[in-house]
Structure 1
Amino acid sequence: MSKTLLLLRHAKSSWSAPAHNDFERPLNPRGERAATIVGMMMKQEGIVPDLILCSSARRTLQTMDLIRPYLPRACPVEKSSTIYEAGIEQIFAALAEVPDNIKMLLVIGHNPGLERLAVSLCGEAVGEDMVRLREKFPTGALAFIELKIDDWKKIAPGTGQLQRFVTPKDLV
């Protein structure tokens, strides 16, 4: 038995918008287009997470809102302030709390936490996608990681294998 972890970095945000702070920064138009493209790809490929765990920052919530129309309505969402600006230890702790009936989890979050988590999970894996991921986990990128665990509490460094790494540029 295994689990699938999808790591989606929020789409491109705006630095020029009149946000009060980093937490409130919105997506820019390029980010809005990229999130929509990722959502369309998920629908076309039949990717249906059992749960979405989303940072409660504005740009991650907007990213989620743009992919939601391409997912089944029944897909539950859990908003979490703990994965905003989280290090990998905090993200591992949040993932260990995921119920075992969740087979495919989509996490929408931020760098550097998501990139470090992916590299930690996949250890010394090789391949073109792993090289690309190590070079940069750009905004709007989606990593597909197969976990060799049957219980989310067992998630740990080296328990994953990168199956695919997709960026918005790959999809246009």
Structure 2
Amino acid sequence: MSVAEPRRIVLFRHAKADWPQVNDHERPLAERGRKDAAEAGRRLVDTGIPFDLALCSTATRTRETWKLAVHEFAHRPKTVYEERLYEASPGELIAVLNETPDDAQNLLLIGHNPGVHGLAEVLAGSAEAEPRERMNSRGFPAAAFAVLSFSGAWKTLEPGVATLLDYWAPTD
């Protein structure tokens, strides 16, 4: 794979979490979250993107979201559980993405708001009109994802270099 070929990044917010008496990092998915995570997995398959790598926060709700979503995939990409994704800002997320090996062409990041939504906005220097409009009107609810594309090495990923290609969120 060449660094000249467009790379795709999918920013995927964890599905709806429950609020039991546990610390935030250990919060599990709510029943609706389990349903939405599986639906998001089907929608991710529909994108046709052959993911090489998934970076997933270590929080319980992100790990559960990924487990339910990836179950829909014919091929499971290499998965790395990354502590730095928990409560990360867009800048911190870019720093993690800059470390991605260049042999990974298509990457899926499973994380949290407000970082994931902020990252989608920060990276998207341009956008297809409809996905931008949908993301602006819906925000980035639980189980939503944005598909972005950029050209170059991962270490060159920075604000404004990507194009927002698609956006999906579960219906209310």
**TM-score, normalised on structure 2?**
0.90
8 A contact 1:55–1:84 mirrored in 2: yes
Summarize the Cα distance change of 1:74–1:116 in structure 2 as closer, same or farther, 3 Å threshold.
closer
Aligned identity (percent) is 37
Q: What does 1:27-42 correspond to in 2, within 5 Å?
A: 27-42=29-44
Q: Look up the equivalent residue of 2:140 and give its one-letter code.
A: F
Residue 129 of structure 2 corresponds to residue 123 of structure 1: no
Q: Secondary structure at the match of 1:123?
A: strand
Aligned length in residues: 167
Residue 20 of structure 2 corresponds to residue 6 of structure 1: no
Q: Choose from 90, 96, 109 the match for 1:88.
A: 90
8 A contact 1:11–1:59 mirrored in 2: yes
Partner of 1:69: 71
Q: Tell me how far apart the structure 2 counterparts of residues 120 and 4 of structure 1 sit (CA, whole Å).
A: 15
Task: Give 5+ residue unaligned stretches, structure 1.
Answer: none
Shift of 1:2: 1.4
Partner of 1:50: 52
RMSD between aligned alpha carbons? 1.7
Runs of 4+ aligned structure 1 residues displaced above 6 Å come to none
Task: Give 5+ residue unaligned stretches, structure 2.
Answer: none
Q: Choose from 130, 139, 143 the match for 1:140.
A: 143
Q: Tell me how far apart the structure 1 counterparts of residues 128 and 152 of structure 2 sit (CA, whole Å).
A: 24
Q: What does 1:130-169 correspond to in 2, within 5 Å?
A: 130-135=132-137, 136-147=139-150, 149-169=151-171
Q: Tell me how far apart the structure 2 counterparts of residues 90 and 44 of structure 1 sit (CA, whole Å).
A: 29
Q: Tell me how far apart the structure 2 counterparts of residues 48 and 34 of structure 1 sit (CA, whole Å).
A: 21
